[in-house]
């Protein structure tokens, strides 16, 4: 884990952003292609990537080594959520925007951005830690953040059963099935793991090019923000990583896992925040702006975080 590796990984992601941006401007990548890529990623590529990785890395020695440290991401996410509520009160965020603010502040884009970034920086060995963070992030988003977003708007919050069902996405299912295979020591035929790896390897380039597509379709107004968005981004890029660092120190988290957790805590606003804000008629415009700007800010923050963890942790 080096600063050079972090810059190299981030630069790789940026080049993939540029490919998506140029492809969109040249009308090679259209909204229809974007929709197809999104479905391909969420339905097949990411679940198979996590499945294949779990079969290799989720084993009994790994679980024994981590132990209760697997719960650290939940502590980070719940702590970030509570911190967002506190900062929202101190900053006097409007009550009808507090749900979106809290989600922007505390919840991270773990899969579409976090997974490719961490894979480039830490390699495949970091993927199980990414997945444990993703489980915590997904659970906290649906159980804690979505009801607040619904409260912002005019719609009623989804039921507990609906939120619980949403927490067990295809990505989670893929990881859990792969973990069972790994923990039981089952050796799958090479053609199965090979096919899963080929499809899973589509995740990083497609995810990054989709982000480039989003940037290409955003106007100059995407970077005009108000206090709510600025405070949320301050929390996302500074306060949440600091909190994650403190929690990792308290729980004596090993350096690799700590690096992954701290980097993920600084990842951009979740795509689902924009979708849920739109669905419940909350401030989806602010959420979209937060997503766009946080994408750029997090890429600047990651090398700094990697340097800090590698030097001082």
Residue 169: exposure state from Cβ atoms within 10 A (0-12, 13-18, ≥19): middle
**For position 155, what pLDDT does the model report?**
59
- pLDDT tens readout for residues 272-313: 788 788 777 788 778 878 888 888 888 788 888 888 888 877
Q: What is the mean pLDDT of residues 111-131?
A: 86
Q: How far apart are CA 135 and CA 140, in angstroms?
A: 9
Q: What is the mean pLDDT of residues 197-224?
A: 81
Q: Is the pTM of this model over 0.85?
A: no
CATH at residue 163: 1.20.1530.20
Q: How far apart are CA 119 and CA 125, in angstroms?
A: 8
Residue 44: exposure state from Cβ atoms within 10 A (0-12, 13-18, ≥19): middle
The residue ranking higher by pLDDT, 127 or 155, is 127
Chain centroid to CA 5: 20
Of 20-29, 35-44, 218-227, 230-239, the poorest mean pLDDT is in: 218-227
CB neighbours of residue 202 within 10 Å: 17
**For position 229, what pLDDT does the model report?**
92
Per the CB < 8 A criterion, the answer to whether 159 and 99 are in contact is: no
Q: How far apart are CA 28 and CA 122, in angstroms?
A: 32
Residue 241 has pLDDT above 80, yes or no: yes
Q: How far apart are CA 165 and CA 184, in angstroms?
A: 26
Q: How far apart are CA 136 and CA 130, in angstroms?
A: 10
Q: What is the mean pLDDT of residues 94-110?
A: 92
Domain range spanning residue 265?
A: 3-312
**For position 248, what pLDDT does the model report?**
95
Structural domain tally of the chain? Answer: 1
**For position 303, what pLDDT does the model report?**
87
């Amino acid at each position: 884990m080096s600063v050079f590796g972090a810059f190299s990984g981030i630069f790789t992601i940026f080049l993939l952003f540029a490919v998506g941006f140029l492809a969109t401007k040249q009308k090679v990548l259209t909204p229809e292609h974007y929709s197809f890529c999104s479905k391909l990623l969420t339905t097949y590529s990411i679940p198979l990537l996590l499945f294949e990785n779990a079969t290799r890395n989720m084993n009994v020695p790994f679980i024994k080594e981590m132990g209760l440290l697997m719960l650290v991401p939940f502590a980070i996410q719940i702590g970030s959520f509570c911190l967002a509520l506190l900062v929202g009160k101190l900053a006097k965020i409007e009550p009808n925007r507090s749900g979106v603010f809290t989600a922007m502040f505390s919840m991270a884009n773990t899969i579409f951005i976090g997974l490719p970034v961490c894979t480039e920086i830490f390699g495949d060995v970091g993927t199980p830690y990414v997945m444990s963070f993703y489980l915590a992030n997904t659970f906290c988003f649906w159980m804690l953040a979505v009801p607040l977003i619904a409260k912002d708007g005019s719609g009623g919050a989804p039921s507990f059963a609906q939120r619980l069902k949403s927490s067990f996405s295809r990505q989670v299912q893929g990881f859990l099935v792969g973990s069972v295979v790994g923990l039981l020591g089952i050796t799958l035929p090479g053609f199965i793991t090979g096919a899963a790896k080929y499809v899973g390897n589509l995740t990083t380039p497609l995810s990054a090019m989709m982000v480039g597509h989003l940037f290409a379709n955003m106007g100059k107004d995407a970077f005009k923000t108000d206090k709510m968005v600025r405070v949320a981004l301050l929390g996302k890029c500074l306060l949440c990583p600091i909190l994650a660092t403190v929690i990792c120190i308290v729980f004596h988290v090993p350096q690799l896992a700590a690096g992954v957790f701290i980097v993920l805590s600084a990842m951009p606003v979740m795509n689902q925040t924009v979708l849920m804000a739109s669905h419940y008629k909350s401030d989806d415009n602010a959420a979209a702006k937060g997503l766009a700007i946080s994408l750029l800010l997090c890429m600047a923050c990651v090398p700094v975080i990697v340097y800090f963890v590698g030097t001082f942790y």
